[in-house]
Structures are given as structure tokens and as C-alpha cells.
């Protein structure tokens, strides 16, 4: 699956890991994350991410 990187802070969303702190289970593709999810590092929205 494709990793996505936050263009503001450099946080990388890895679908194989997910984001446990936000309730995103491992194996969740970036496209399937709820639209109200925000970057766990800097708090920007999904529109500030691009494919790594």
C-alpha cells in the first residue's frame, strides 16, 4: 500500500502501521481514513498529505 507524507511536518502515514492514537487500524489505506482525521504530529488535514 502507498505511504503518504505530511507536507507540513514530514510525518509519514504508513498503512501497514495505521495510527493507533486516532483509532486507525493497521492495514487502513490512506484513502479509507475518515476525512476528519488530522496529522498526529501537526494537526493539519488530509489535504496536506501527498504520496511519498
Residue ranges binding Zn ion (CB under 5 A): 6, 8-9, 11, 39, 41-42
The minimum distance between CB 40 and Zn ion, in angstroms, equals: 8
Per DSSP, the three-state class of 8 is: coil
Min separation Cβ 17 and Zn ion, Å? 16
Distance set, CA 7 to CA 13, 25, 34 (Å): 11, 23, 19
Nearer residue to Zn ion within complex by CB, 26 or 45: 45
From the CB of 11, what's the least distance to Zn ion, in Å? 4
Is the separation of the CB atoms in 37 and 19 below 8 Å? yes
Amino acid at each position: 500500500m502507498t505511504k503518504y507524507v505530511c507536507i507540513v511536518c514530514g510525518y509519514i502515514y504508513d498503512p501497514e502501521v495505521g495510527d493507533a492514537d486516532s483509532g486507525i487500524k493497521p492495514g487502513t489505506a490512506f484513502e479509507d481514513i475518515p476525512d476528519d482525521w488530522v496529522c498526529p504530529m501537526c494537526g493539519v488535514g488530509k489535504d496536506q498529505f501527498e504520496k511519498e
